[in-house]
Amino acid sequence: MKKRIAVAAISCLVVIVLMRVQGAGLITALTPRGILDLEFANSPARLTTVLAAWDQATVTCNIWIDFLFIPAYVLFLSLSVAAVSVNRGNGFLRNAGAWLERAAYVAGVLDIAENLLMLQSIAGNYTPDSLWLTYYCAGLKFGIVLCIIVYLLISLPLIFKKNKPNGV
């Protein structure tokens, strides 16, 4: 399992660097958060402002690269949670781990939906409702990922904690 986690982690890092380099032009005075400004553009006026600041080919390419990132981060998060929760008994951490391991895949599905909606928005095929749907997909995705990261950070000390024999 450690090898699969390492491969997924390296894949994540490679795609993150690729997206940052390729998407550098998405960070402007009007869009200081880059692609996040598009993910959270929840009104036609905001969408128009965001897209006016960018080259359409650059943002489209960045979204397509994100499709490569999705399986990398989903596998990394899911495998990492599985690795730290496997020996946690039957308590809260074990149950939370089982839920979060699956939730990583939900985040991936939300990310795919968000990307497809953003591609439609860039092409001019959007409604106020589709912009809100994109916004909520992004928000839920990031919420799930944040929960997983918090779980992993909480679990880290437990990984290194040595089991003491009874009576010591």
The rounded distance, in Å, linking the Cα atoms of 110 and 113 is: 5
Specify the pTM: 0.89
Residue 136 confidence (pLDDT) above 90: yes
Average pLDDT of span 41-70: 97
The string of pLDDT tens digits covering residues 57-83 is: 999 999 999 999 999 999 999 999 998
- Going by pLDDT thresholds of 50, 70 and 90, the confidence category of residue 91 is confident
Spatial CB neighbours of 133, under 8 Å, sequence gap ≥ 6: 113, 117
